[in-house]
Amino acid sequence: MKDKPAVKTAARPCRSRGIALLAAISLAIGYGMLASPAWPQSITDRFKSLFGGGTSEEAPAPGAPSAADQAPSDLSCPPVSIRAGASTYQVAAPGKQPVGNDLRFQVTITRTARDCTYNSGEITARIGIQGRVIAGPAGAPSSVDIPIRVAVVQSGVQEKTIATKAYRTSVSMSEDGSVPFTLVAEDMVYPAPPGAVGDSYIFYIGFDPQALKPEPKAKKKK
């Protein structure tokens, strides 16, 4: 039986520089579990830190957290699962269905990772997502927008959504019609669950075309 990945406690900064902070990362498809994030980090560095690529920069040594900020010992970082029915994003030519020769492009998720940090009763999660965009027979546009939704859900007879947020990223298509995409959702924050309740939590991810639609404008008051 494998151990559950623990939730890290947010550390206070200190003046002296020390060894890089090691973050325990659990990969959804069984990849390695080593990361060394640094601050400040570029988007590339942050993504590499989730998937074990590391960075050449050195991080400040963490200070000891107070008892109030210490993460409970039974708190774990929820697993990542792709929501059923939202694992593939397909777009067709205008007025057509995304099948056969009318398919413009298809997007799939190939790899995920996550880590969690506890701070004053809240958990901040980072969800790393990798995937691929493949052009279809109808021809993909030069740039593709990818909409993804991340949700923290308490599973059970009746699922309860704890937090949810939509994200989007864009990729430029290559001549061979197949390009990878990456996205790191870094600002998913939710209240730390009490006791063993956290064992029923799960991160659901999936494509959400509604995230590409502009928000409705507020009606002006007369």
Per residue in 79-111, pLDDT (tens digit) is: 999 998 899 999 998 889 999 999 999 999 999
Q: What percent of the chain lies above the pLDDT cut of 70?
A: 64
Residue 215 inside a domain? The answer is: no
The pLDDT of residue 183: 94
Residue ranges making up the domain that contains 140 = 8-209
Token pair, residue 79, equals 């697993």
- pLDDT exceeds 70 at position 115: yes
Residue pair 179/173 in contact by the 8 Å Cβ criterion: yes
The pLDDT of residue 48: 58
The pLDDT of residue 151: 96
Residue pair 80/131 in contact by the 8 Å Cβ criterion: no
List residues bridging with 151 in a β-sheet: 164, 204
The pLDDT of residue 56: 39
For residue 59, name the pLDDT band (cuts at 50, 70, 90): very low
Residue 36 inside a domain? The answer is: yes
Identify which of 201, 125, 115, 193 has the alpha carbon closest to the alpha carbon of residue 156. Answer: 201
Residue 196 inside a domain? The answer is: yes
Residue 150 inside a domain? The answer is: yes
Q: What is the largest CA-CA distance in the chain?
A: 64
Give the residue, 3 or 204, on which the prediction is more confident.
204
Residue 66 inside a domain? The answer is: yes
Residue 221 inside a domain? The answer is: no
Residue 219 inside a domain? The answer is: no
Round to whole Å and give the CA distance between 96 and 77. 42
The pLDDT of residue 74: 64
Number of domains in the chain: 1
